[in-house]
């Protein structure tokens, strides 16, 4: 029995095209038999590219599809994992048999896999505004842009004075930097090598990073320092008060994998901090209302007294 070009046709059904980590995505599929002989589907496997190891979820179909007929495959509820933002795909495969009239028996096609997946997007909520302290030198761009891109894919809108936040008056740059840091939920400082001291032969980073880290510290903004292993950190950046992770340019891919593992923790810290801030603001508002109520009550009581 010759293998046909299309063994069966598949129609995907996802309950939505955009999902958030922590949600559950509902996936189902309808399988249609285009042949003049019956098909039989055994074990099915759902596979989602948002899982690093692509571990398929097994379902039992065990149904025959008559000539020109269709069946709905068992659906799957996908817990959306904490992964970088982006487009992912759902794939499904089925063990498939076709009825061979000449042999009067079932012909096994094997585990038939779709050649095209159903796309969906994963995005993060809430989104965070991040100030990025970074170099804009061409020599640093391949490393810095890769790190910034990874940060952005975890739901961070990034802002850097001199790159996407422009200030025409050079005398106002320090104040503009401070304003952007104050508007941000957090700060990422990417320390790339810049100067080698003639006295100590130690590698330093660019001066503006030191200043922006100091601004961030004074503004009490959560800050993560990402520094090349060759750099000797000075000033405030050299103390343990600023959480620091190290990278090497020759092992950048390994570091980006580590950063992807670290970003969910960063998001958790920021979400908890935002919640604590909101709770404190709510407490302050209730206290203000309570105080104004007490004052109003005292004034009313005073007016009622003879």
Assess whether 163 and 83 both reside in one domain.
no
Q: What are phi and psi of 173, to 5 degrees?
A: -60, -50
Assess whether 102 and 136 both reside in one domain.
no
pLDDT of residue 199: 44
Q: Quick check: is 33 in a domain?
A: yes
Count of domains for the chain = 2
Mean pLDDT of the chain: 85
Assess whether 133 and 255 both reside in one domain.
yes
CA distances in angstroms from 108 to 1, 66, 96, 97, 105, listed in the order given:
10, 16, 6, 4, 10
Any idea what the CATH number is for the domain that residue 207 is in? 3.40.50.450
Assess whether 200 and 114 both reside in one domain.
no
Q: Which of 91, 122, 153 is the last residue of a domain?
A: 122
Q: Quick check: is 191 in a domain?
A: yes
Tell me the mean pLDDT in the region 95-108.
Answer: 92
Q: Quick check: is 72 in a domain?
A: yes
Residue 41, Cβ density class (10 Å: 0-12 exposed, 13-18 middle, ≥19 buried): buried
Q: Which of 97, 122, 147 is the last residue of a domain?
A: 122
Quick one: which of 53, 55, 74 has its CA closest to 63?
74
Assess whether 144 and 112 both reside in one domain.
no
Give the percent of the chain with pLDDT over 70.
Answer: 84
Q: Quick check: is 157 in a domain?
A: yes
Assess whether 75 and 42 both reside in one domain.
yes
| pLDDT band, residue 103 (cuts 50/70/90) | confident
Assess whether 75 and 194 both reside in one domain.
no
Residue 93: partners with Cβ closer than 8 Å, 6 or more residues away? 44, 45, 47, 56, 111, 112, 113, 114
Assess whether 96 and 188 both reside in one domain.
no
Q: Quick check: is 57 in a domain?
A: yes
| pLDDT at 283 exceeding the cut of 90 | no
- Per-residue H/E/C for the chain: CCCCCCCCEEEEEECCCEECCCCEEEEEEEEECCCCCCEEEEEEEEEECCCCCCCCEEEEEEEEECCCCEEEEEEEEEECCCCCCEEEEEEEEEEEEEEECCCCEEEEEEEEECCCCEEEEECCCCCEEEEEECCCCHHHHHHHHHHHHHHHCCCEEEECECCCECCCCHHHHHHHHHHHHHHCCEEEEEECEEEECCCCCCEEECHHHHHHHHHHHHCCCCEEEEEECCECCCHHHHCCCCCEEEECHHHHHHHHHHHHHHHHHHHHHHHHHHHHHHHHHHHHHHHHHHHHHHHHHHHHHHHHCC
Assess whether 134 and 250 both reside in one domain.
yes
Assess whether 105 and 139 both reside in one domain.
no
297 versus 29: the higher-pLDDT residue is 29
pLDDT of residue 67: 94
What are the structure tokens assigned to 273, written together?
């901090």
| Chain segment 40-80, per-residue pLDDT in tens | 999 999 999 998 777 788 999 999 999 999 999 989 999 99
Whole-model pTM? 0.76
Assess whether 142 and 266 both reside in one domain.
yes
Q: Quick check: is 287 in a domain?
A: no
Rounded to 5 degrees, what angle do the CA atoms 291, 293, 295 make?
70
Tell me the mean pLDDT in the region 268-272.
Answer: 89
| pLDDT at 96 exceeding the cut of 60 | yes
The residue segments making up the domain with residue 25 are 9-122
Assess whether 136 and 113 both reside in one domain.
no
């Amino acid at each position: 029995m010759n293998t046909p070009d299309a063994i069966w046709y598949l129609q995907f059904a996802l309950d939505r095209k955009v999902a958030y980590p922590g949600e559950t995505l509902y996936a189902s599929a309808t399988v249609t038999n285009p042949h003049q002989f019956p098909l039989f589907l055994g074990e099915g496997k759902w596979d989602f590219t948002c899982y690093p190891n692509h571990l398929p979820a097994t379902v039992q179909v065990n149904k025959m599809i008559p000539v020109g007929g269709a069946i709905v495959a068992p659906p799957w509820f996908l817990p959306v994992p904490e992964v970088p933002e982006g487009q992912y795909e759902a794939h499904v495969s089925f063990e498939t048999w076709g009825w061979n009239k000449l042999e009067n028996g079932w012909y096994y096609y094997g585990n038939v896999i779709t050649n095209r997946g159903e796309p969906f997007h994963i995005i993060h909520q809430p989104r965070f505004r991040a100030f990025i302290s970074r170099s804009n030198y061409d020599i640093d761009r391949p490393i810095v842009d890769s790190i910034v891109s990874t940060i952005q894919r975890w739901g961070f809108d990034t802002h850097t004075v001199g790159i996407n936040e422009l200030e025409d008056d050079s005398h106002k740059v320090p104040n503009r930097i401070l304003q952007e840091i104050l508007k941000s939920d957090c700060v990422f400082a990417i320390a790339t090598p810049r100067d080698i001291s003639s006295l100590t032969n130690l590698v330093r980073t660019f001066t503006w990073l030191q200043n922006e880290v100091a601004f961030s510290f004074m503004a009490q903004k959560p800050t993560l320092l990402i520094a090349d292993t060759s750099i000797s950190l000075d000033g405030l950046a050299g103390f343990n008060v600023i959480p620091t992770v190290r990278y090497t340019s020759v092992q950048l891919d390994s570091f980006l994998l580590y950063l992807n593992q670290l970003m969910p923790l960063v998001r958790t810290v920021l979400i908890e901090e935002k919640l604590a801030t909101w709770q404190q603001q709510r407490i302050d508002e209730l206290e203000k209302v309570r105080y104004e109520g007490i004052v109003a009550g005292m004034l009313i009581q005073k007016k009622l007294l003879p």
